[in-house]
A and B are shown apart, each in its own frame.
Chain A
């Protein structure tokens, strides 16, 4: 049987359909699933679309941000309450891809894709997952990404995170070999809140440095309680590779990623040009 398409009008309906049929694939923006269809990797089963407006809702005016999983990169870019995420959204594809690609889909993008998820990881986001017709549960993004390849049952409905108190505390950089943009050699996101002049609760995350986006715990430790100066940056660079397992792909070798990781981390932290 060739592929079928179904439309759900509510998130609960979509979650119910996903939980009841393993051969149902959820289609969010289409940039990942349609590729599998076009290349013959997805030949049968059902594609599920969702038209629920709540899936695309943004609530970003307050200190706690909630973004529907169907929010596109273009919607993020057009939202004045999310300036710290504009560089992240702009790093993803060209304008056409950004009209289509969603936050929910990005959580499932395989390395070296998935740069938005890297930013969400540094923001300590919570992922809302709804299974069956029940209510959504909240999963820490790190746990979500760690379990992703074992299969996620249900529907990712939204992500939540606390807005950085100061937009400058959030830093993001994507390193590509093609200008103005290309696929990630790596991406780095850092949320470094300040208390006085000290960093508290440092969160640093990498993309394309492991099979999923990962936290850079060594860097976080090196920066915690310190001010961002040459000594702490030096220590952070020394710990840059802790916990990484980069892959070799068409963009870069594992060796190259390791070699340049500390360099780019240093530039991100000092705010230097590329």
Chain B
């Protein structure tokens, strides 16, 4: 049992609750220990068919032709699905809440954008028959240059990964190439700081590796419906996604699930349900589509890679006075949930600390890698790794104990966070104190006396400072990426009036590059297309010293800041929301 530390938080919980705080047997436990818990695959069907997909062997290629005639004649094959068979063959997961543009097909149409992208689906009497027929599908590819590094992908001239987003970045509100956070004046604070430390961090993709692989079974039901046994973590999210893709009213789909053999975020993408349903629609029989272990590990959608730059200004007494985070999420070839990850990351900056001046620029970049998705704190995990390593380095730089240093800078209840929410239930100070105690790590008497319940929100800690904002990041204006600030919002401003920006030329097609933006150079020696691409796994980019951004070009045009009616408000979930 986890206990509330009443010595720290005497009033935190009523001790006389009937269930909360007590050990109660879970209702699914008897099913788990008797083998009766109904996972999606634990359902018997007469005449069950099995679906396997043919996947792209290339990271980026044009499909010249597809020949399935031999596969269609193979023993046991009942039906072959191609892109044209998918009623709505372009979707993005968050389209259900009107966020982002449809960018991903269920079966590739004329191009493949990552190694492992599904191109053709085979439905057969047995898995073995489907696998045998898979070898008979002939696809003629013309390989295209690919890009695997987030920063390379954003350079002008980089191969276009995802035609829906031709600049290789997710477009927020059709206007911005990144999520931006501004709080106070970091530039000024860096100048007055005793020490400025800037470091580069990165994290590789991580596979969830659930013991149950992704899969589903769809079968025709009475009443003209289809029953779908699904592993989805968000069952109704999956239902909505599948209904859109197969072109059915959602009330014709009967999703059954909720018993998930490990998800960790890797079962929110609905990667099997639409094709299984489509298979059932086309054959009139139950169709089962389950990823095998290799597919799960290689193409089951990982936590995305990230590259993070953290710049901090710190005083000799240990106070951090400014933090600027610039981070690049690797979405892989399609958006899935990366657009949301960047929003979460932005709301998390500058980590669980109170820093009077904070800013961040968080990009979602497309690369020719497997699309990435949700995973346990995605958007937060990697940047927290970077921030905590940075905290150790900063403590070292000011010659402070790292635990003391964290307590000194920790946020407290009542402090204003840069995303304009007041912090509550912070408890970082107590966490560090308890960790130090358990690890027998000596901390100073002063650090021991601190409390997250005291001192938070006092004076400037509770205020929104006067904040410098700029126009950097507007789509179609690469030259403004490094533009100077354009406006100062007075202290206490909580609502940011949106300016009506004209759609600027040069945005989508010509992509004119500013002279001092580094041009994209392919990481590998240029090869003549079509040529086989180099190894499956791109080598991780060699670490290179951080190069300061090029100096700002001539002052960017400053559009008039005309307040818009119906002001938008920053939301902790999806950036802006109409009030």
- State which residues 111-148 of B face A: CB under 8 Å: 127-129, 131-132, 134-135
B residues less than 8 Å from A38 (CB atoms): 292
In whole angstroms, what is the CA distance A2 to B74 when docked?
Answer: 11
In the complex with contacts A40-B134, A43-B135, A2-B294 CB distance below 8 A: no
Whether B128 pairs with A2 at a CB distance below 8 angstroms is yes
B residues less than 8 Å from A3 (CB atoms): 128
B residues less than 8 Å from A43 (CB atoms): 128, 131-132, 135
A43 to chain B: closest residue by CB: B132
- State which residues 93-107 of A face B: CB under 8 Å: none
A41 to chain B: closest residue by CB: B131
Q: Is A39 an interface residue (CB 8 A)?
A: yes
B293 to chain A: closest residue by CB: A39
- State which residues 428-476 of B face A: CB under 8 Å: none
In whole angstroms, what is the CA distance A2 to B132 when docked?
Answer: 9
In whole angstroms, what is the CA distance A175 to B135 when docked?
Answer: 38
- State which residues 1-60 of A face B: CB under 8 Å: 2-3, 38-40, 43-44
In whole angstroms, what is the CA distance A245 to B127 when docked?
Answer: 38
A residues less than 8 Å from B75 (CB atoms): 2
Whether A39 pairs with B132 at a CB distance below 8 angstroms is no
B127 to chain A: closest residue by CB: A40
The digit string for A145-167, where 1 denotes a CB below 8 A from any CB of B, is 00000000000000000000000
B residues less than 8 Å from A44 (CB atoms): 132
In whole angstroms, what is the CA distance A40 to B294 when docked?
Answer: 11
**Interface-central residue, A38, A40, A43, A44, by most chain B CB under 10 Å:** A40
Interface of B is mostly: helix
- State which residues 475-493 of B face A: CB under 8 Å: none
Interface of A is mostly: loop
A40 to chain B: closest residue by CB: B131
Whether B292 pairs with A39 at a CB distance below 8 angstroms is yes
A residues less than 8 Å from B292 (CB atoms): 38-39
In whole angstroms, what is the CA distance A40 to B131 when docked?
Answer: 6
The 8 Å CB contact of A39, one of B129, B135, B294, is B294
In whole angstroms, what is the CA distance A3 to B129 when docked?
Answer: 11
In whole angstroms, what is the CA distance A40 to B291 when docked?
Answer: 13
Chain A nearest CB, measured from B123 CB (Å):
15
Chain B nearest CB, measured from A133 CB (Å):
32
A44 to chain B: closest residue by CB: B132
The digit string for B62-104, where 1 denotes a CB below 8 A from any CB of A, is 0000000000000100000000000000000000000000000
In whole angstroms, what is the CA distance A148 to B76 when docked?
Answer: 36
B130 to chain A: closest residue by CB: A40
A residues less than 8 Å from B134 (CB atoms): 40
In whole angstroms, what is the CA distance A270 to B26 when docked?
Answer: 51
B residues less than 8 Å from A40 (CB atoms): 127-128, 131-132, 134
In whole angstroms, what is the CA distance A3 to B127 when docked?
Answer: 13
In whole angstroms, what is the CA distance A38 to B135 when docked?
Answer: 15
Chain B nearest CB, measured from A103 CB (Å):
26
**Interface-central residue, B75, B128, B129, B294, by most chain A CB under 10 Å:** B128
A residues less than 8 Å from B127 (CB atoms): 40
In whole angstroms, what is the CA distance A40 to B128 when docked?
Answer: 7
Chain A nearest CB, measured from B537 CB (Å):
10
In whole angstroms, what is the CA distance A3 to B131 when docked?
Answer: 13
In whole angstroms, what is the CA distance A176 to B127 when docked?
Answer: 34
Chain B nearest CB, measured from A177 CB (Å):
14
- State which residues 197-233 of A face B: CB under 8 Å: none
Chain A nearest CB, measured from B134 CB (Å):
7
A residues less than 8 Å from B132 (CB atoms): 2, 40, 43-44
In whole angstroms, what is the CA distance A2 to B294 when docked?
Answer: 22
In whole angstroms, what is the CA distance A2 to B133 when docked?
Answer: 11
A residues less than 8 Å from B294 (CB atoms): 39
Chain A nearest CB, measured from B370 CB (Å):
15
Chain B nearest CB, measured from A253 CB (Å):
11
B135 to chain A: closest residue by CB: A43
A1 to chain B: closest residue by CB: B75
The digit string for B290-307, where 1 denotes a CB below 8 A from any CB of A, is 001010000000000000
In whole angstroms, what is the CA distance A39 to B134 when docked?
Answer: 12
In whole angstroms, what is the CA distance A38 to B134 when docked?
Answer: 14
In whole angstroms, what is the CA distance A153 to B164 when docked?
Answer: 55
In whole angstroms, what is the CA distance A44 to B294 when docked?
Answer: 21
In whole angstroms, what is the CA distance A139 to B365 when docked?
Answer: 57
**Interface-central residue, A2, A3, A44, by most chain B CB under 10 Å:** A2
Chain B nearest CB, measured from A175 CB (Å):
22
A residues less than 8 Å from B135 (CB atoms): 43
In whole angstroms, what is the CA distance A44 to B292 when docked?
Answer: 20
Chain A nearest CB, measured from B202 CB (Å):
17
- State which residues 411-437 of B face A: CB under 8 Å: none
In whole angstroms, what is the CA distance A95 to B127 when docked?
Answer: 29
B residues less than 8 Å from A39 (CB atoms): 292, 294
Chain A nearest CB, measured from B131 CB (Å):
3
In whole angstroms, what is the CA distance A2 to B292 when docked?
Answer: 20
In whole angstroms, what is the CA distance A39 to B131 when docked?
Answer: 8
A250 to chain B: closest residue by CB: B297
A38 to chain B: closest residue by CB: B292
Chain B nearest CB, measured from A134 CB (Å):
35
Chain B nearest CB, measured from A182 CB (Å):
13
In whole angstroms, what is the CA distance A40 to B295 when docked?
Answer: 12
Chain B nearest CB, measured from A25 CB (Å):
15
In whole angstroms, what is the CA distance A2 to B126 when docked?
Answer: 11
The digit string for A134-149, where 1 denotes a CB below 8 A from any CB of B, is 0000000000000000
In whole angstroms, what is the CA distance A44 to B75 when docked?
Answer: 13
Chain B nearest CB, measured from A169 CB (Å):
41
In whole angstroms, what is the CA distance A44 to B135 when docked?
Answer: 12
A35 to chain B: closest residue by CB: B293
Chain A nearest CB, measured from B508 CB (Å):
40
In whole angstroms, what is the CA distance A2 to B125 when docked?
Answer: 13
In whole angstroms, what is the CA distance A72 to B128 when docked?
Answer: 29
In whole angstroms, what is the CA distance A39 to B291 when docked?
Answer: 11
In whole angstroms, what is the CA distance A177 to B134 when docked?
Answer: 35
In whole angstroms, what is the CA distance A38 to B131 when docked?
Answer: 10
Chain B nearest CB, measured from A79 CB (Å):
33
Q: List 18 A-B contacts (CB under 8 A).
A: A2-B75, A2-B128, A2-B129, A2-B132, A3-B128, A38-B292, A39-B292, A39-B294, A40-B127, A40-B128, A40-B131, A40-B132, A40-B134, A43-B128, A43-B131, A43-B132, A43-B135, A44-B132
User: What are the 3 tightest A-B residue pairs by CB atom distance, in nearest-first order?
Assistant: A40-B131, A43-B132, A2-B128
Binding site for B on A (CB under 8 A): 2-3, 38-40, 43-44
User: With contacts A39-B292, A40-B127 known, what are 16 further pairs, Cβ within 8 A?
Assistant: A2-B75, A2-B128, A2-B129, A2-B132, A3-B128, A38-B292, A39-B294, A40-B128, A40-B131, A40-B132, A40-B134, A43-B128, A43-B131, A43-B132, A43-B135, A44-B132
